[in-house]
Structure 1
Amino acid sequence: MNFILYSDVNDSSISASLGRPEYSYYFVLKAYHPVLESLGRVHVAASVADVDVLYRQLLAAGEDSVFLSFTPPQKTPVDLQCPTICVVAWEFDSIPDEEWDSDPRQDWTQMLARHGRVITLSSHTANAIRRAMGEAFPVLVLPTPLWESFAAIRQQQLPTPVNPGTTLAIKGCIFDSRTLGLSADALIPVPLTPEEEAVLAAELEAARPPALTLKRRFVIARHYLRLWLLDAGRQQIEPVPRVKFLSNWYWEGVRDLLPDAVHDWLERRLRAICAAQPLPVAEPVPLNLPDTSSVVETRVDGVIYVSVFNPRDGRKNWHQLITAFCWAFRETSDATLVLKLTQNDLALYYSELMTLLAQLTPFACRVVVMHGYLDDAQYARLYQAASFYVNASRCEGLCLPLMEFMCSGKPAIAPDHTAMQDYIDDSVAFVVKSSEEPAIWPQDSRLIYRTLRHRPDWGSLKSAYERSYRMATTQPLDYRRMSEAAIERMQHYCGFSEVQMRLSNFFEPLPKVTDVASATDNASC
């Protein structure tokens, strides 16, 4: 069997794709690669156009193939000769079962029916698909096989609830709440003194344009007449509309001479000239952002909470994650929250993050924000440094970072909804309570409520922080048991042999194709 794999994000584009809605599909593809290789040959296509070319070559050699598309159903082709299976990461309680924008591809039921079967990353997604497609529709629940990848980290040291000290490094920048000088007072405008008000009034008066005397009006008229003539004498690719000069002359030179009634009459009849022009959009004040081209370090110790997320992803609920931490540990100096943010553009979240931290001041706990690229060795330090991994999401399609830290022996603070219900319970985590709330399908341009997600309870999250801290500092044996339970859970959930067995059973009934002409219908796969 040959497995042809494709993802929109690849090795060359991943560093520039962090934060894109579907960038995690790349990591799923990489994680599946070894287990697929144990069952056949693996080919990673550079583009969808290469799939059928490779398929025909292999078919001519008498070899079967299947195309695994690591893209959402609406982006997975249905017209290939190669049997196609979509690998779906989905976090809502229903799949799109209607079309919009006159695009039938948005209806996943049509797309999946054409493919004939589907691979999902969680039982939550599988149940949503079966509700739409019927219980008999072939669905494979296949978590990414991660457990073996963290064997070296598990062997290096036993999980420690209270970290004696670890140096973290990253190519990018690090923000530390203890060195930022944050203060809520900085968010409040300082009133001007009488002397400052007088200076400001004088500056405004000095900037006021001169009075519109008859001579001044003549100068304005001459200026715009000159611009009109100059414009008429040169050829431009996009010439300035002549009416713009008349409009500028009207508003700057004679508008104030006319009563409002006359102006309104002229605006109705000569709108292009007499209507008010839109004000120019003010350029945003540039942020004084740090350099991100070099490797920087910081040292952390105590009880370390870690979370990895994209701050532009509204599902991650990171405001609650931070506020609950700072509120739980307002007077606890040895609690540290390390945030590794997976968003390339620092300017997209910098002001929002700093404002939130300033609003929470003062607090004794520490918040460390890491922006940039972590290589494997740097990530290994982060895994080892953590006491707990924190997830406060509204919904998850899988949550690879949470699984990775649990594979490293780190207990979690997390809800047990959506994909996390497959591997989160009280034996491996401090479970955060949540309830359902209406949501939109994220790709639905109509922005209408068609599905559900979950609303984590802030009080439950705060309590989970407090209970986990007590365990780490006063109950090391309980922490060790929870750490061992997390490792065992991940071994059974995403170990290589378990995933391999599921894959083997799923692909066993694939039909053999004897010629290209008979391989045009994906429904059989």
Structure 2
Amino acid sequence: MNFILYSDVNDSSISQSLGRPEYSYYFVLKAYRPVLESLGRVHVVAATAEVDPLYRQLHAAGEDCLFLSFTPPQKTPDDLECPTICVVAWEFDSIPNEQRDDDPRQDWTQMLARQGRVITLSSHTARAIRRAMGEAFPVLVLPTPLWENFADIRSRHTSAPINPGSTLDIKGCIFDSRLLGLSADDLLPKPLMAEQLAEIEALRPPPLTLKRRFVIARHYLRMWALDLGKTQPEPVHRTHFLKLWYWEGVHDLFSEAARERLAGYLPAIASPLPVVVPEPVPLDLPDTTARVETQVDGVVYVTVFNPLDGRKNWHRLISAFCWAFRETADATLILKITQSDLSSYYTELMTLLAQLSPFACRVVVMHGYLDDPQYARLYEAASFYVNASRCEGLCLPLMEFMASGKPVIAPNHTAMEDYIDEDVAFVVKSSEELTIWPQDTRIIYRTLRYRPDWGSLKAAYENSYRMAKERPQDYQRMSRAAIERMHDYCAFAPVQQRLSDFFGLAPQAPMPVAVTDNASC
């Protein structure tokens, strides 16, 4: 069997693609690849246009082929000769089941029916698909096999509830709440100084005396006449100067009713001037090309997310931490950001931290791309991993920290229900809420996600901290349980067996490889 694989993001573009809507599919492809290689030959293509030529070549040689599309169904081609299967990461309780925008691919039921089967990353997604396609529709639930990837970390590092001191580095920038001088007072508007008031007053135009109205009229009428004298006057300018004269020179002489009538009779002249939006003041952002480092210790919480991903609920994750440890100096929260554009979230994040200040705990923000050794240090530095998402398609970072032996704080809804319970986590309570399908431009509420309870999240922080400080034996028990859970859930052998049974292929020798992760899938 030949497996042809495609994802919108590839090895050469991943470091520039952090934050793109489907960039996490790249990591799923990379994790699946060794399992697929144990069942046949793997070909990774850079574009879907390469699929059918490769299929024809292999089919002519008498070899079977299957195209695995690591993209959502609406972005998967529906006109290929090669048999196609989508690998679907989905976090809602229903799938798009109607055509819109004259695009039949927006109806996932049509796409999946044409393909005849599907691979999903979680039981939650499988249930959503079967509700739409019928219980008999072939669905393979296949988590990414990543347990073996963390064997080196497990062999050299034993998780500890209290970090004695670790050095973290990144190519990018680091923000430390203890060095930012945060203050909620800085968010209040400052009264203007006398010099500033004088400058504003100096910029005010002089009063509209009869003489000034005459000067304004003479200027704009002269410009209008000069424009009319051109051999090929610009059509816009024929009324442009008259409009400026009206608004600057005589607009205030008319009553509101008269102005409305004039706007109706002479819209080119008396209609309102276009609103000019001033250019935003550029942010004074740090250099993100240098290699920087920081030291962390104490009880260290880590989370990985994209601030532009509305699922991640990161405002509440941070606020619950700062309130739980408002007077606790040795609690640290590390935010590893998977978004390449610092300006897209900087103001929002810094405003939140300023609103929460003062707090004794520490918040460290890491912006940039981590390679394997850098990520390994982050895994080892953590006491706990935190997730407060409204919904998840799989959540690779959560699984990876668990495979490294880290207990977690997380809800047990959507994909996380497959591997989160009280043996491995401080479970955050949550309840259902209405939401939209992300790609639905109509913004119609027709599916469900979850609302994590803020009080439960704050209590999970407090209870995990007490465990770390007072019950290290319970921490070690939870650490071992996390490793065992990931072994049972996403080790290479059981994933390989599921895949071989689904395709009816005989497995060969396993070939697990490491996966560098900056994903939030």
2:282 corresponding residue in structure 1: 286
Cα deviation digits, residues 398-421 of structure 1 (max 9, x gap): 000001111111111000110001
1:266 corresponding residue in structure 2: 262
Q: Is the 8 A contact 1:332 1:365 kept in 2?
A: yes
The worse-fitting range, judged by mean Cα deviation, of 61-70 and 14-23 is: 14-23
SS at the partner of 1:21?
coil
Which ranges in structure 2 are unaligned for 5 or more consecutive residues? 507-521
Q: Distance in 2 between matches of 1:348 and 1:505?
A: 45
Q: Pairwise mapping of residues 8-87 of structure 1 onto structure 2 (< 5 A)?
A: 8-87=8-87
The worse-fitting range, judged by mean Cα deviation, of 463-472 and 48-57 is: 463-472
SS at the partner of 2:420?
coil
SS at the partner of 2:79?
coil
Q: Tell whether 2:411 aligns with 1:427.
A: no
Cα deviation digits, residues 376-432 of structure 1 (max 9, x gap): 111110001001100000000000000111111111100011000111111111111
Q: Tell whether 2:451 aligns with 1:452.
A: no
Q: Tell whether 2:482 aligns with 1:507.
A: no
Cα deviation digits, residues 39-82 of structure 1 (max 9, x gap): 11000011111000000000011100000000001111222110
Whichever residue aligns with residue 143 of structure 2, its letter is: P
Whichever residue aligns with residue 451 of structure 1, its letter is: T
Q: Distance in 2 between matches of 1:283 and 1:245?
A: 25
Q: Distance in 1 between matches of 2:69 and 2:133?
A: 19
Q: Distance in 2 between matches of 1:49 and 1:376?
A: 32
Whichever residue aligns with residue 162 of structure 1, its letter is: I
2:206 corresponding residue in structure 1: 210
SS at the partner of 1:132?
helix
Q: Structure 1 residue 253: deviation in Å?
A: 2.5
SS at the partner of 1:477?
helix
Q: Distance in 2 between matches of 1:292 and 1:234?
A: 54
1:174 corresponding residue in structure 2: 174
Q: Distance in 1 between matches of 2:371 and 2:231?
A: 56
The worse-fitting range, judged by mean Cα deviation, of 259-268 and 156-165 is: 259-268
1:401 corresponding residue in structure 2: 397
Q: Is the 8 A contact 1:168 1:299 kept in 2?
A: yes
Q: Is the 8 A contact 1:231 1:240 kept in 2?
A: no
The worse-fitting range, judged by mean Cα deviation, of 281-290 and 291-300 is: 281-290
Q: Is the 8 A contact 1:16 1:344 kept in 2?
A: yes
- How many residues get paired? 505
Q: Structure 1 residue 203: deviation in Å?
A: 3.3
Q: Structure 1 residue 99: deviation in Å?
A: 2.1
Q: Distance in 2 between matches of 1:231 and 1:469?
A: 78
Q: Pairwise mapping of residues 189-268 of structure 1 onto structure 2 (< 5 A)?
A: 189-191=189-191, 196=193, 199-228=195-224, 229=226, 233=230, 240-268=236-264
Whichever residue aligns with residue 146 of structure 2, its letter is: L
Q: Tell whether 2:387 aligns with 1:391.
A: yes
Q: Distance in 1 between matches of 2:482 and 2:63?
A: 41
1:115 corresponding residue in structure 2: 115
Q: Structure 1 residue 260: deviation in Å?
A: 4.1
2:98 corresponding residue in structure 1: 98
Q: Is the 8 A contact 1:150 1:408 kept in 2?
A: yes
Identity of aligned residues (%): 76
Whichever residue aligns with residue 392 of structure 1, its letter is: A
Whichever residue aligns with residue 426 of structure 2, its letter is: F
Q: Distance in 2 between matches of 1:172 and 1:288?
A: 15
SS at the partner of 1:444?
coil
Q: Is the 8 A contact 1:231 1:239 kept in 2?
A: no
Q: Structure 1 residue 188: deviation in Å?
A: 2.1
Q: Tell whether 2:408 aligns with 1:416.
A: no
The alignment's TM-score, normalised by the length of structure 1, stands at: 0.93
Q: Tell whether 2:317 aligns with 1:318.
A: no
Which ranges in structure 1 are unaligned for 5 or more consecutive residues? 511-525
Whichever residue aligns with residue 124 of structure 2, its letter is: H
Q: Tell whether 2:460 aligns with 1:469.
A: no
Q: Is the 8 A contact 1:415 1:456 kept in 2?
A: yes
Q: Distance in 1 between matches of 2:215 and 2:98?
A: 63
SS at the partner of 2:304?
strand
1:521 corresponding residue in structure 2: none
SS at the partner of 1:338?
strand
Cα RMSD (Å): 1.9
Q: Is the 8 A contact 1:317 1:392 kept in 2?
A: yes
Cα deviation digits, residues 301-350 of structure 1 (max 9, x gap): 01110000001111100011111111111111111000001111111111
Q: Distance in 2 between matches of 1:240 and 1:264?
A: 22
Whichever residue aligns with residue 481 of structure 2, its letter is: A
SS at the partner of 2:460?
helix
Q: Structure 1 residue 362: deviation in Å?
A: 1.2
Q: Structure 1 residue 460: deviation in Å?
A: 0.9
473, 484, 489: which one pairs with 1:488? Answer: 484
1:277 corresponding residue in structure 2: 273
366, 372, 394: which one pairs with 1:370? Answer: 366
Q: Is the 8 A contact 2:227 2:237 kept in 1?
A: no
Q: Structure 1 residue 210: deviation in Å?
A: 2.7
Q: Distance in 1 between matches of 2:232 and 2:330?
A: 70
Q: Structure 1 residue 121: deviation in Å?
A: 0.3
319, 327, 330: which one pairs with 1:331? Answer: 327
Q: Distance in 2 between matches of 1:56 and 1:227?
A: 69
Q: Structure 1 residue 361: deviation in Å?
A: 1.1
The change in CA–CA distance for 1:181 and 1:268 in structure 2 (over 3 A counts) is: same
The change in CA–CA distance for 1:137 and 1:268 in structure 2 (over 3 A counts) is: same
Q: Distance in 1 between matches of 2:378 and 2:299?
A: 13
The change in CA–CA distance for 1:382 and 1:46 in structure 2 (over 3 A counts) is: same
Q: Distance in 1 between matches of 2:34 and 2:229?
A: 69
Q: Distance in 2 between matches of 1:63 and 1:272?
A: 70
Q: Structure 1 residue 255: deviation in Å?
A: 2.5
SS at the partner of 2:402?
helix
Q: Is the 8 A contact 2:173 2:286 kept in 1?
A: yes
The change in CA–CA distance for 1:191 and 1:154 in structure 2 (over 3 A counts) is: same
The alignment's TM-score, normalised by the length of structure 2, stands at: 0.93
Q: Structure 1 residue 472: deviation in Å?
A: 1.1
Q: Distance in 1 between matches of 2:411 and 2:274?
A: 49
2:518 corresponding residue in structure 1: none
Q: Is the 8 A contact 2:423 2:481 kept in 1?
A: yes
